[in-house]
Structure 1
Amino acid sequence: MRKIQLLVLALLAGSTFSFAQEYFPKNDGVKAENNNYTALTNAKIHVTPTEVIDGGTLLFRKGKVVAVGQSVTLPKNTVVIDISGKSVYPSFIDIYSGFGVEKPEKAKSDGRSAEFDTSREGFYWNDHIMPENEAVAKFEYDDTVAKTLREAGFGVVNSHIQDGIARGTGVLVALNGAGNDGERIIDDRSAQYFSFEKSIAKKQSYPTSLMGAMALLRQMYYDADWYAKGTIETKDRSLEALNKNKGLVQIFGADDKGNVIRADGIGDAFGIQYAILGGGDEYERVADIKATNAKLILPLNFPEAYEVSDPYASGYVNLKDMRHWNQAPANPKILADNDIAFSFTLYDLKTPADFKEKLLKAIAYGLPKTKALEALTTVPAQILGKSAAIGTLQKGSYANFLVTSGDVFDKETELYENWVQGTKNVVNDLTLKDIRGEYDLTASGQTFKLSIKGEAGSPNAEVKQDTAKLKSKFSYADGWMALSFATKDGEENYRMTGLINKTSDELNGKAVLPNGSETVFKAIKTSPFTEKDTSEKDKKDKKDHEKDAPEMVAVTYPNVGYGYSSIPKPENILFKNATVWTSEDAGILESTDVLVKDGKISKIGKNLRGGNAQVIDATGKHLTAGIIDEHSHIGALAINEAGQNSSAEVKMTDVVDPEDVGIYYALAGGVTSLQLLHGSANPIGGQSAILKLKWGESAAHMSYDNSPKFIKFALGENVKQSNWDSHTRFPQTRMGVEQVFTNYFQRAKEYEAKKKSGEPYRTDEEMETLVEILNGDRFITCHSYVQSEINMMMKVAEKFGFRINTFTHILEGYKVADKMAEHGVGAGTFSDWWAYKYEVNDAIPYNAAIMHDQGITVAINSDDGEMIRRLNQEAGKTIKYGGITELEAWKMVTINPAKLLHLDNRTGSIKEGKDADLVLWSDNPLSVYANAEKTVIDGATYFDLEKDKQQREAIKEERNQLINMMLKEKAEGGETQKPKQDKKEAMHCESGVGAK
């Protein structure tokens, strides 16, 4: 009986979609299928974003478009609906949705978990890799939620399980509440989804970081390829699913511009072109985003203005966040200008009802309406490979369309209907007459002024008697109006109701007078409805406001407070008459010139001529090579991958943060290069990144080209987990740490032997890295403190035929300096740190000098975002503690760390032919009074003290400008959010070691 009722309702509504499969038995009563056609006529039909038909006809049957055009022949059994003056658009598509698929509950865990979930035997070893998941298996249609999506204009969503790193397949669903899943599910394996976020439902600790997630994805792809070759007998349902799904569309949830680039890099390594969910900040690195060739999925989660009325509270908001509030709405426009294809998604919006407002804001910021419509129709259809079925109103596509009062992207446009698979869904009554306007209302000889305003579908009314406003109530629904009001003394009440005449502007109906007698009322329209700004000045202001694009502050590189309007470029520079600290055998040269040309140190001498070079008078100043920090953690998004006792597979190059203002501060301290090290959460840490601090460049352009390869190892308290609550991961003792090294290097030898044998083998990124160490292709920087462990580490290396490159920290190095010299290891240490934890109780400030006297290459490093700005002064301390000469002290922060990093042929000293990495100091660089006036890298000036002073003033002015804009936004009724302090964590060796 229910099916018959639905069928009758569908016929009455003009639905043409079949409610039962053809092969279903029909033995429970007389059945009749709706084989009628439906035609919408006299409409402005947007067949595609660029094909528009005026006065057109849309003919559809059984949920599909049959024909569209100005002259369409209508079959006899056609239900014709005249929608003269209305517009028709394809319904919108969201390809990054969670509709109908609940996220799993968060796993309960109080600490680190076991490495493996035994309940997942037969699946991939890592619980966060779940390509076997299928959204269709967990899908439950909810028409209450679907209604909110239809009201926002959406007809199709591509839903998936938004949990895990490899998330499985999505399901493409039409929001057809009248159908069943067999009808509304367009594709039950629509795409394969990935992210960098591990599952909240799984307790396995690895990965604990972004770089760990990236390494895991790479290893997953290697394993899938290995599994596909059939060289393993065990069954892995996860890898089988991954391989099965590799022919599908691949979608990656990146969530910000940096992760877009990271995700694309993984895809490129394995021949995969992802469609990528962005974060709305792609405008900041648009050239890099364009280079990915990825189609983007853009959220419209533009931030609200901050509540900045309180001067103290507003100080918590950094300039970067203020800028993003101002600049983010231009993101779609900027991407469109750069020919980057994108679709829109409701993802990360508070509610679908916010979508139109956000979209209109993007259009106000310059996004062309055609591009907006493409982003909601044809582009998402193209991404999914479904252009023939959805996204247009061409013949054969689903009859998914919107009926509107006009331009779908105009604020005042009403969305009347959203048809999905030929089923009509009413959003606002298409037949509802707009009764807004000014009226003379009469009843029983009394005359009143009636003003009906507001939205056409839900107007409000105001009643006046003479000039007095009367208390009134008004409603308008289903073609009926109801009005009640009290006269000015509040004692006499009038009640009126009437059915609206669709062919007349006159309102009339039944009235009940204050004395209870019944009569009729009549309201004659005297003028049509107009907006509030009726004065000529208001009209002009409104016109000007609509014409002018919103004011937007300039994007800088990077887009933070001290960013530059353009990325610094190399210049030819002649430093005249400087005191030159060469860090070479030439020593310190007085009154000497240095010519920089094409990013290199071209000439060193007196009375040099530079041709067209910029001449800098360095009289009374000191010119040095740029400082190099051998051990740093600034400029990183993560420091530790703490999930396993070896993380040799992870790469610090994956998590370089080029926007870390610590880079700018380091430049202000004369630092030009650093080694970005993994932390000390595990005995075998991650691969290093060696960077030039090119402020404003991308992460990729900061990394040294053809960089020497390094990895961080660690000894001591951290790796045996003394500093966080964990009692499950091996090792727990210093003895166990030695066994980790021995075991892993033995495994690496066996791995290489198998690889060389010609037998099939599983590519293992972790083992590949350790083999590089055994072969002398990768160097170890080892976190160390206690002499016994220093000895142990050297003996392990000697056992396996290699040497340790650098012991860093090494505050007991003075105890074993002779053995270190014999081994051939260098040292990176602090100038005068001691007693900050138990294992450094024996540290002394003479440590650097004693190791230096034993012939060890010694560098002074920072391991600290604050100390890196004063490494020149830290080097000076070695003169006090040990009697080191000025030149040898300076070498400890220039050529010595360059030697430790195997970069001394390129940088670290002032020598003809080397990179022009230079610092101009106001005084002796070892002095506490010295300021870095200019810091030059490869001939480009990345810090200038005078420019810095100007920037500080510019930052104050820009903050004030943005605060005033936010105050104006609030005054005009815009929503605001509480001020918040978005302060980046200061990274150290132990950062993130307690992550789960």
Structure 2
Amino acid sequence: MRKLFLTGMLAWGFAQIGWSQVTFPRNGVYDERPGLYAFTNATIVVDPKTTLEGATLLIRNGRIEAVGKTVSIPAGAVVADLKGQRIYPALVDIDSDYGMPAIQRNAPGGGRGTPQYDSNKKGAFNWNQAIQPETDAGTVFKANVAQANELRKLGFGAVVTHQHDGIARGNSALVTLADDRENNVLIRDRVSAHYSFSKGTSTQTYPNSPMGAVALLRQTYYDADWYKKAGKTVEANASLDAFNQLQTLPAVFEAPDKLGVLRADKIGEEFGIQYIIKSAGDEYQRLEEVKATGASLIVPLNFPQAFDVEDAWDADNVTLAEMKHWEMAPANPAMLAKAGVPFALTTASLRNKTDFWANLRKAIEHGLTEQQALTALTTTPAQLLKIDNEVGSLKPGLLANFIITSDNLFSADNVILENWIRGKQYVYADKNAADWRGTYNLTIGDRSNLKLTITGKPGKPDYQIQADTVKITPKVSLNNDLISLQVQLDKKQPGTTRLSGYRTDGATWKGEGELPDGKIVKWSAVSSQPFSLTAKADTAKKTAPQLGKILYPFVGMGNLEKPKAQTLLIRNATVWTNEKDGVLPGADVLVQNGKVAQVGKNLAVPAGAQVIDGTGKHLTNGIIDEHSHIALYSINEAGQSSTAEVRMSDVINSEDINIYRQLAGGVTTSQLLHGSANSIGGQSAIVKLKWGEAPQEMLVKGADGFIKFALGENVKQANWGDAVRIRFPQTRMGVEQLYFDHFIRAREYDNARKTYNGLSTKEKAKTAPPRRDIELDALAEILNKKRFITCHSYVQSEINMLMKVADSLGFKVNTFTHILEGYKVADKMAKHGVGGSTFSDWWAYKMEVKDAIPYNAALMARAGVTVSINSDDAEMARRLNQEAAKAVEYGGMSEEDAWKMVTLNPAKLLHLDSRLGSIRAGKDADLVLWNNNPLAIYARPEKTIIEGTVYFDAQDEDRKRDELQKERARLIQKMLTAKTGGASTQRPTFRRQRMWHCEDVEGVMAEGEQRAGQEK
């Protein structure tokens, strides 16, 4: 009766005062009694660091009034005795979409359908639909009974919810999970600002790539700053106004993966913002770099299912990275905690919310402590978003959001009995129900050889009857002291035995029943062994799971440790210096501190140096690929005719297996270029192929900036079909006009900025600043000789056109790449001072290259053009040494001059020849030790060295492959065991690795799905 009284009082009381809006008229009697309740004799977890035994929690009008061991209970309080039970703060999820409008996804722009260049959103909003800072979660929020109940059952009492749509997503709201109208559950609006790399439901063509998403967000930050200072006199823009208002709030950025975390942090650094980053659960793979960001994380518990690898062919479709992530993902929270990275846990990204507790306990099994888990679900999320004065602990003044549990919250036997939200009770199990678990001697009529075992959780028991060696699961209904059982005891005599009875004391049940043949019998169940939590816990103890090791990068052929620079002495090799000394037989090269220290004969061995015998081998500097598309998540931002604002450095994929493959071919440096989908493409990234390092560490520090331009069919998109023939330009004449238009605008823009920057402080105060435009910034850098053009080109007419445009506007084209008709205009190229980076013998793959010849490289070189041979292809880059040899075969070039076409000449085109491209004291120690003449088809690198670090070693190759196969075999056996043990599995899916080429266009949504760089 006590339980019924308390429950009834609560339901009635909250209908009156605790949950009624005082501004709302009431149809009925006004009863203003306070919601005053005292919970006594409980184990109360005030916060993860404070637990009180035998304490009291006092709440009034939906808030905590007192908590402690000596709390005085006021007169009139409804008292509940919770002896043997626990009270925890209700959990908090700060990355929820609870109550948000359903997202209606349409086919995004940017594909081969009709492009949409302008926003379809009506009103004075941003030009791009993916920028939605005006979205106000508090306004669009609608309470949802089913969603709320699903989260309440898990122990959550409040969430911070926002619309997960777009790149700038607006603000969030703190809401409780009570079943009530929005006025009563909305605690605080404008809690945090939210961002992502996903354009979401926007159907606009731009952006169609991750790098375009980065550029759009960066430009929005600059536009908002301009709008605040001067823009309101020029235009009305509700989006930029809202964006500026968001800047006072904690900023949350959703990243698609571990590298996305680093990318988001890089944006934050540019604008002085420390994002809280919603991660993907793979941060442990780049833990050192993630920690260095200083960011707090919101971490999902979306652990992958094991793969069904029973079929050997299916197993071949699962990469080592996927297998290792399945094994190691549950350890991600523990690794973050050990590294000291602050994080909150979230139910977001779970396939089913019901997986939450199973996955959380799995994380605890993998090393996360219970205190760390509770912290990540209560105090940390509340502190990160500055809502800890409302939720996250059980301190006076906070909302009365708490859960009552039967046991330790993280115990598998625990039951969440009740969830109280703002002082309102939600019952999920009877907290006053007796615990009948244990073993009973069961007698039914004249059968006394039966045992009834009751296990499971209090309030949710499991029943089993054992008849000799046969175990049978009965159907049981329990209502207070009354019980009903239905069971088929004997398979030889089919039929159901039905028993009804009652409890006579704490250890005995008895009653009457009817056998299948209709005979009435008496039955009883007498306790023989009570249920023991301690005994069960002892038998259930498990050792910490044994996991494999992290690889750098986290793919097949990754390293157990990142390689380190060494002092090296390579002795008695044939050294191709690319200097005036030419090829030196029997020479030594000393490498110290990442540089070439000495070149000569009989060099002394420094202390601690590793000596490498080069006898019979050839030592060259590393190959430099002037035109590459490896190690990128995407290569074309095709949403506009000019995308000079995008940066390839924003989408470097350091996990791409092509990095390792090209090291095995002697490549040490690559220029990662934008594709050719537009006349003015994006800014390139020059990287060294440091296998195992993160993207920022791969970038060549201090390198000049380059940008990709393009000519020909690709940029016109006239061959894409009738649906897309609306983008300017559609003709080659239009391409020329586009260049004039953009560079004239860039010059005017640059002059305006220089004029403003030259004003005194007093004059600036009176003058509106010009709008910062990061697209025109890049073009102005070209005019100011701070950024240089690499232009995709084929036919001579367009090559001449761009040189004429450049000459008329006062800038130079640095490099024509492809340039398969370069031999026709080599004299004009030499006069302009432009280099040529070409294929050795590609032709006839489209009409633009029908006049290509294999003598092109040699003919341009003889005309005085600096010529390099590039790959533009992940596979070709593995044998650029052989591509260079074709210049000897077809063009009669000397071996040394041919070799320079893949080493010194591309270094010159990239303005890096003072550091790269030859072997000379003081230059970077980027070296390759070959087993043969590097131009021979039999040549194979034995060691590839970058800045004194060995990143590829042929002697280590077999060991790495053996370890890879052993690791795969171990993980396959572990997955087979998991399936046998009842674990759910997923079917392996074959995914071909994308090998990028100039014309490839990839949607912004595909980044998280693509698994480039994963090797079996």
Partner of 2:846: 837
Change (3 A) 1:471 1:563: closer
The one-letter amino acid paired with 1:135 is: A
Q: Work out whether residues 115 and 204 of structure 2, in 8 Å CA contact, stay in contact via their aligned partners in 1.
A: yes
Identify the residue that residue 500 of structure 2 maps to in structure 1: 497
Of residues 446-455 and 763-772 in structure 1, the stretch that sits farther from structure 2 once superposed is 446-455
Match of 2:36 in 1: 37
- Aligned to 2:738, the other structure's residue is in SS state helix
Change (3 A) 1:810 1:444: closer
Instruction: Give the counterpart letter for 1:213 in structure 2.
Output: A
| Distance in structure 2 (CA, Å) of the matches to 1:36 and 1:829 | 80
Measured after TM superposition, the shift of residue 454 of structure 1 is: 4.0
* Other-structure match for 1:732: 730
The match for 1:751 is 749
Within 5 Å, give how 1:215-254 maps onto structure 2: 215-231=215-231, 232-254=233-255
1:323-362 to structure 2, matched below 5 A, reads: 323-362=324-363
In the other structure, the counterpart of 1:523 is 525
In the alignment, structure 1 residue 64 sits paired with structure 2 residue 63: yes
Q: Indicate how the Cα distance of structure 1 residues 566 and 498 shifts in structure 2: closer, same or farther if over 3 A, else same.
A: same
1:319–1:425 Cα change, 3 Å: same
- Alpha carbons of structure 1 residues 167 and 693: separation in structure 2 relative to 1, 3 Å: same
**1:416–1:430 CA contact under 8 A, matched in 2:** yes
Residue type matched to 1:504 in 2?
Answer: G
The one-character-per-residue Cα deviations of 1:774-815 (angstroms, maximum 9, x if unpaired) are: 111110000000000000010000011011000000000000
CA distance in 2, matches of 1:297, 1:923: 53
Q: Which residue of 2 aligns with 1:645?
A: 641
Deviations 1:875-928 (A, max 9, x none): 000001110000000000110000000000001100111010100000000001
| Partner residue in 2 for 1:716 | 712
Q: Equivalent residue for 2:939?
A: 930
3-state SS, counterpart of residue 105 of structure 2: coil
**Structure 2: which amino acid aligns with 1:906?**
R
**1:509 offset after TM fit, Å?**
4.2
SS of residue paired to 2:507: coil
Q: Is the 8 A contact 1:571 1:939 kept in 2?
A: yes
Aligned-residue Cα RMSD (Å) equals 2.3
Amino acid at match of 1:561: G
SS of 1:986's partner is coil
1:395-445, CA deviations, whole angstroms, 9 ceiling, x for partnerless residues? Answer: 111111111121111111111111111111112221222223222334666
2:668 matches 1:672: yes
| Superposition pairs of residues 300-339 of structure 1, within 5 angstroms | 300-339=301-340
- Paired position in structure 2 for 1:144: 146
Is the CA contact (8 Å cut-off) linking 1:16 and 1:63 kept in structure 2?
no
Q: CA distance change for structure 1 residues 462 and 286 in 2, over 3 Å: closer, same or farther?
A: closer
* Corresponding position of 1:159: 161
Partner amino acid for 2:780?
V
Contact 2:449 2:468 in 1 (8 A): yes
Contact kept in structure 1, 2:463 and 2:473, CA below 8 Å: no
Structure-2 change in CA distance of 1:792 and 1:82 (3 Å):
same
Residue 818 and residue 540 in structure 1: after superposition, are their counterparts in 2 closer, same or farther (change >3 A)? same
More displaced stretch, 599-608 vs 504-513 = 504-513
Matching residue of 2:699: 703
Q: Supply the AA of the counterpart residue of 1:986.
A: M
Shift of 1:187: 1.1
The corresponding residue for 2:365 is 364
Counterpart of 2:475 (choices 455, 462, 473) is 473
Say if 2:16 and 2:30, in contact at 8 Å, map to a contact too: no
2:962 corresponds in structure 1 to 953
Larger mean CA deviation between 277-286 and 457-466 belongs to 457-466
Q: Which position in structure 1 is the counterpart of 2:794?
A: 785
Asked whether the 8 Å contact 1:114–1:728 carries over to 2, the reply is no
Matches within 5 A, 1:210-609: 210-231=210-231, 232-442=233-443, 447=448, 449-456=450-457, 457-463=459-465, 472-477=474-479, 480-486=482-488, 488=490, 490=493, 494-500=497-503, 504-509=506-511, 511-512=513-514, 521-529=523-531, 542-543=540-541, 546=542, 548-609=543-604
| Counterpart-to-counterpart distance in 2, 1:346 and 1:988 | 39
The structure 2 residue matched to 1:742, chosen from 740, 743, 768, is 740
Query: How much does 1:16 deviate?
Result: 9.7
Shift of 1:451: 1.1
Q: Please name the residue that 1:20 is paired with.
A: 20
Aligned 1:780-819 pairs, distance under 5 A: 780-819=789-828
The one-letter code sitting in structure 2 at the alignment partner of 1:419 is W
User: Between the two proteins, what is the percent identity of the paired residues?
Assistant: 48
| Matched residues, number | 981
Take 1:936 and 1:485, find their aligned partners in 2: how far apart are those partners? 74
- State the partner residue of 1:610: 605
1:625 aligns with 2:628: no
Residue 980 of structure 2 is aligned to residue 980 of structure 1: no
Whether 1:686 aligns to 2:682 is yes
Aligned-partner Cα distance in 2 for 1:59–1:469: 48
Give the secondary structure class of the aligned counterpart of 1:484: strand
Q: Supply the distance in 1 between the matched residues of 2:373 and 2:942 (Cα, whole angstroms).
A: 48
Inter-CA distance 948–443: structure 2 relative to 1 (3 Å threshold): closer
Inter-partner Cα distance in structure 2 for 1:947 and 1:735: 55
State the secondary structure of the residue aligned to 1:740.
helix
Task: Work out whether residues 863 and 989 of structure 1, in 8 Å CA contact, stay in contact via their aligned partners in 2.
Answer: yes
Q: 1:105 is matched with which residue?
A: 104
Cα displacement (A) at 1:158: 1.1
- Cα deviation for residue 13 of structure 1 reads 8.3
Distance 1:672 1:521, change over 3 A: same
Tell me how far 1:722 sits from its aligned partner. 3.8
CA distance in 2, matches of 1:183, 1:638: 46
TM-score, normalised to structure 2, is 0.93
Contact 1:447 1:465 in 2 (8 A): no
Shift of 1:677: 0.3
> Could you say which residue in structure 1 is the equivalent of 2:1012?
none
Alpha carbons of 1:11 and 1:119: their partners in 2 closer, same or farther (altered >3 Å)? closer
| One-letter code aligned to 1:743 | D
Higher relative contact order (CA 8 A, sep 6+): 2
Report the secondary structure of 2:356's partner residue: helix
Partner amino acid, structure 1, of 2:332: N
**Does 2:93 correspond to 1:94?**
yes
For structure 2, the 5+ residue unaligned runs are: 757-766, 1006-1016
Name which of structure 1's ranges 450-459 and 904-913 shifts more when overlaid on structure 2. 450-459
The answer to whether 1:135 aligns with 2:137 is: yes
1:944 is aligned to: 953
Counterpart amino acid of 2:807? E
- 1:690-731: per-residue Cα shift (whole Å, max 9, x none)? 001111111001001111110000001100114534212111
Cα distance between partner residues in 2 of 1:453 and 1:13: 37
Q: 2: CA distance between counterparts of 1:217 and 1:408?
A: 42
Give deviations 1:533-574, integer Å, cap 9, x for gaps: 99xxxx98743xx1x211110001111111111111111111
Change (3 A) 1:487 1:761: closer
8 Å contact 1:209–1:641 — kept in the other structure?
Answer: yes
- How far apart are the structure 2 equivalents of 1:413 and 1:898? 65
How far apart, in 1, do the equivalents of 2:62 and 2:316 lie? 57
How far off is 1:98 after superposition? 1.0
Q: Distance in 2 between matches of 1:509 and 1:698?
A: 71
CA drift of 1:199 comes to: 2.5
Confirm or deny: 8 A CA contact 2:740 2:805 kept in the other structure.
yes
Give, in angstroms, the shift of residue 239 of structure 1. Answer: 0.4
Q: Structure 1: how far apart are the matches of 2:91 and 2:755?
A: 56
Question: 2:13–2:35: 8 Å Cα contact kept in structure 1?
Answer: no
Q: Which amino acid in structure 2 is aligned with residue 475 of structure 1?
A: S
1:954-994: CA deviation from partner (whole Å, max 9, x where unpaired): 11111001111111111111111111234431011111178
